[in-house]
Structure formats: C-alpha cells, structure tokens
Amino acid sequence: MLERISSKFSDVARRMSGQHKISEKNVRDAVEEIKLALLEADVNVRVVRRFVNSTIEEASGEVVLKSVAPGQQFVKIVHDRMVALLGDERSDLELRGPDTLSVILLLGLQGSGKTTSAAKLAARLKKEGRRPLLVAADLVRPAAIDQLVLLGEKVEVEVFHEKEASDPVKLAKAALAYAKRSAVFDTVIVDTSGRMELDDELMREIERIKKSVDPVETLLVADSMTGQNAVEIAKAFDERVGLTGIVLTKFDSDARGGAALSLKSVTGKPIKFIGVGEKPEDFEPFHPDRIASRILGMGDVLSLVEKAQETIDEAEALELQKKLQSATFTLEDYLDQFARLRKMGSLEKLAEMIPGLAGQLQGEEINEKEIRREEAIILSMTIRERQNHRIIGPSRRKRVAKGSGTSVFEVNRLLKRFEKMRGMLKKASKNKQYQNKMLSQMQGH
Ligand SMILES: Nc1nc2c(ncn2[C@@H]2O[C@H](COP(=O)(O)OP(=O)(O)OP(=O)(O)O)[C@@H](O)[C@H]2O)c(=O)[nH]1
Ligand SMILES: [Mg+2]
C-alpha cells in the first residue's frame, strides 16, 4: 500500500530538499503536486484541504524561505503535517493491570478481517506476557466458530465457544463469567459477526454486546481496500457504538492509501494496529512517524543525514566541495575518506543513499580488511605520489606493494578504483544542482 502516493511524494521531497533557495511560488507548486497525489490516493477532500492550507501557511513564512536550507525545512514541515494526519503519537491499547480482566471488542463489516485480527491480537498479547481468551461471538455465519477455533489452535490461545448458542449477548456474558471463574486469563478478545451493509440490527446487537461486556477497547476492524468507505463506516460506528481505536487490515494490499490517511482526521480515533498479511504474525502496531517517513521516501535520506552529521562538519564539507570543483581530489583526500567510509559502511551503501549515485558503485563493497590494506598502500607512497597518482609507474608500484606488504595487483586495483571514484566525483561536480544536493545532505541540513 501507499506505493503510488509515496513515489509522488518522494519525488517532490527529493527535489525540494536539494534547493538552497525557494520562493513562495515553489512552495505553492510543490503543495499543488502533493494535493493531487493525496486526492488521487482517495484521501478525504476536507482532510486534503486542511493539510494543504496549513502546509502552505507554515512553509511560506519568512523564517522558512530565508533559512539556510529552506527546501529541507519544507520537507520537514510536510513530514510533520503527515505525522499529525496519521495520528501523532503511537496509540497503544489501554489495558487494565493483569489482576483485572480487560475486554477487547472487535467489530466491523463482513470480511473486513475481524476474526483474523482477533487471533493476531491474541498471539501478540500472549507474546507480551498477557493471558488472552478468544471468544467466538459471531453466531451468524455457520463456519465462523470453526474458523476462530482453528486460528486459536494455531496461535495456542483458548477459544470460548458454544456450538448451540444463538444469542451473542448471552454468549459474551457467559465467556466473561468463564474467564473470571477460571482466573487464568487477563484479557478477553471478543470476535463479532459482520454484515454486508450498516444496518440497524447489527448496530443494536453490537450496542447490547458492548453494554454486557464493558470493554476497555472497542476496535473497529476496517479494510483499507474500501478506501473512503472505511472512513464513513468508522464515523457511523463511532457515533452509534463509540470506538476507542481502529485496526486497519490489508495494509499489504495495493489500496491507494486514502483510508489510512483520512481515518484519524475524520473520526478522531487512532489507528492502533495494521494487518499486513494473512498469517498470525502479520500484524503490527501503527507508527505514524514511520509511515510518514515511508510515504515521503525519507528513510534513506534521513539516515544518511544522521550518519553524515557524525562524520563530517560544515568546514570539511566546504573544503571537499572546493576540491570537487577544481577536480584536485587526491589520494591524500581519498585516505581522509576512509575514516568516514568506515562509519558509513561501504562505498556502495554510501552511493545508494545519495540520489543519482545509486548503482554507480556496484561491486565496490569495501570491507574493513580492505580499507586497512588500501590505507597501508597509500601510506607507503611518498607525499608527491599521493598528491599526483599519475607519476606512479610500474617500478613505483612494485616498491609500494613491497612497502605495504601487498601485491602489485592490489596496488593496481586501488589506483583503478581511485580513478573511477575521481571520475565520478568530477562528473558530479559539473552538475551544480546535483552537487548542492549531495553537499547539503552531507552537511546534514
Ligand atoms: N492480505 C491480507 N489479508 C487479510 C488481512 N486480514 C484479513 N485478511 C483476509 O481477509 C479475509 C477475511 O478475513 P476474516 O478475518 O475472516 O474477516 P471477518 O471480518 O472476520 O469476516 P466475517 O466474519 O465474515 O465478517 C480472509 O481471507 C483473511 O485471510 C490482512 O491484513 N492482509
Ligand atoms: Mg469473522
């Protein structure tokens, strides 16, 4: 899910974050693109309007436009707005202490994923050390009880069920009494029946079940594939029954993402979990900030900024920029990069994280051992050789190999690699826009 919207957003984010100067018009244009992407993703129109207005207002301020890195500030504003849209903080379940029973009631339309989610939730809580009991209170669909019993076996959680029962309210009460009596359980998860359409009968039944079990969590299970519809359903259920949160299922599908992005804003209820597959373990807490970063395609950029901040300061970056521009990058400078490379991992990883460089350094994995050998090779060169590698002919190569305890083959390989990197940097340095992008990222703006 979210692939389409993410590809549009990361385009805008990458483009804007490379800008060292932006105008109010740039902001408006970028926001317009974002607006279209949101509408295309089936996000609620009112939500889009609010998002757009507040982003423009905040991003067009003097403080942002005149700042050192306005493009990246813009991206940060969009990111933060997106996090707010998705629900700010992660909302966990609010369960009672282990000595008091906590009831979780699951409800929703037919086929939304209630039964599957009940088992997933039970498995998860069990892993966290709680002692859940599943309750098969869907007495409408004939196979519903068997389905939950089977899932319960799979996740090794007991399922309370009565084959002959016909009243879900009575059954839920009986389950609660059983849980209290046995004193083995601290959490009761109630699976209920779904219907094709929102109807009065279903609502009344759910209301009665809710009253009889007094749940601490009433979670709507909503199918992300239903898009806008999921939002309307959530609103209706909340008004009638009162929800404490949402489980958004089928997040692994290619749904356009509108539901995920509108639910919190429209209903005020947080998405607490997402279902990401059919298996019991395909169930995750919903983290607004992580999803926002994913939508913006910022994961890599942000981690590069973080890593680079540790390893390079502004003055160093400027110095490097000068060298790139004049193409006087020497083996000496190459040597300086090793410490940085060590922290970053490999050349390839470094390249992957810089837009435009990905794929250009394939197979150039340099491991710690190799870095040490390369260092030894360069240290065996004279200062003059390090400053101008072109003078290192065959006899010098032999001497360097001997001095560093390596072979001529390895010296040749290092020189070749250095040539390649130099060529790449030279090429990159001619492209001003690209270079600014790379530099601003290295400086961590
Ligand atoms: N890919 C994917 N499939 C899911 C997810 N959650 C549920 N499903 C599938 O959706 C289908 C319906 O799931 P159920 O759990 O039976 O839905 P339900 O709401 O209990 O359905 P009713 O009881 O008939 O109302 C099943 O085939 C599940 O495997 C999910 O997060 N991802
Ligand atoms: Mg079911």
| Angle (nearest 5°) at CA 423 between 419 and 424 | 120
Q: Tell me, in angstroms, the distance from the centre of ligand 2 to residue 182's CA.
A: 26
Q: Is 113 helix (H, G, I), strand (E, B) or coil?
A: coil
Q: Is 116's C-beta closer than 6 angstroms to any atom of ligand 1?
A: yes
The three-state secondary structure class of 105 is: strand
Cα gap 290→255, rounded to integer Å: 18
Q: Which residue has the CA at smallest separation from atom 25 of ligand 1?
A: 110
Closest residue by CA, ligand 1 atom 26:
113
Instruction: Divide the 445 residues of the chain into consecutive groups of 10 and give the mean pLDDT of each group.
Output: 81 81 89 91 90 91 73 82 87 86 95 96 94 95 93 97 93 96 95 83 90 96 88 91 95 83 91 93 88 71 44 55 64 72 56 47 60 86 88 93 92 87 68 55 42
Work out which ligand 1 atom sits closest to the CA atom of 144. Answer: 23
The reported pTM is: 0.69
Residue nearest to atom 3 of ligand 1 (CA): 278
Ligand 1 in reach of 119 Cβ (< 6 A):
no
Q: With a 6 A CB cut-off, is 192 part of the ligand 1 pocket?
A: no
Q: How far is the CA of 218 from the centre of ligand 2 (A)?
A: 16
- What is the per-residue pLDDT for 391? 92
Q: In this structure, which residue's CA is closest to atom 13 in ligand 1?
A: 113
For atom 1 of ligand 1, the residue with the nearest CA is 277
Say which CATH architecture domain 3-86 belongs to: Up-down Bundle (1.20)
**331: Cβ below 6 Å to ligand 1?**
no
Pairwise CA distance, residues 151 & 158, whole Å: 10
Give me the residue spans of the domains in the chain. 3-86, 102-286, 299-443
* Residue 277 Cα: closest atom of ligand 1: 32
Q: What is the structure's pLDDT at 418?
A: 83
CA–CA gap between residue 436 and residue 421 (Å, rounded): 18
Asked whether 252 lines ligand 1 (CB < 6 A), one says: yes
Sheet bearing 217-223, strands edge to edge: 159-160, 132-136, 187-191, 102-107, 217-223, 245-249, 271-275, 283-285
Give the Cα separation of 95 and 102 in Å (integer). 6
Residue 137 Cβ < 6 Å to ligand 1: no
The CA distances from residue 362 to 226, 286, 317, 346, 425, in Å, are: 42, 35, 25, 11, 15
Q: Around 155, how many Cα atoms within 13 Å sit in the side-chain half-sphere?
A: 29
Q: Which of 332, 346, 429, 435 is nearest to 389 (CA)?
A: 332
**Is 138 close to ligand 1, i.e. is its CB under 6 Å away?**
yes
Q: Whose CA is nearest to atom 4 of ligand 1?
A: 278
Q: Considering only CA atoms, which residue is closest to atom 27 of ligand 1? A: 278
Question: Which positions ≥6 away from 186 have C-beta within 8 Å?
Answer: 96, 98, 99, 100, 101, 102, 130, 131, 132
* pLDDT computed for residue 309 by the predictor: 44
**Distance between Cα 116 and ligand 1 center (Å):** 5
* Ligand 1: centre distance to CA 354 (Å): 40
Number of Cβ within 10 Å of residue 100's Cβ equals 9
Q: Which amino acid is at 241?
A: V
What pLDDT was estimated at residue 312?
46
Q: How much distance in Å is there from the Cα of 205 to the middle of ligand 2? A: 15
Closest C-alpha to 218, from 193, 198, 189: 189
> In 60-143, where does DSSP find H-type helix?
62-65, 70-86, 114-127
For residue 160, give the H/E element and its range.
strand 159-160
**In CATH, what class is 299-443?**
mainly alpha
CATH 3.40.50.300 for domain 102-286, yes or no, is: yes
Q: Among all ligands shown, which has an atom nearest to the Cα of 194?
A: 1
The answer, yes or no, to whether any atom of ligand 1 lies below 6 A from the CB of 403, is no
DSSP 13-67: HHHHHT-S---HHHHHHHHHHHHHHHHHTT--HHHHHHHHHHHHHHHTSHHHHTS
Which among 87, 156, 169, 167 is positioned nearest to 125, based on CA atoms? Answer: 156
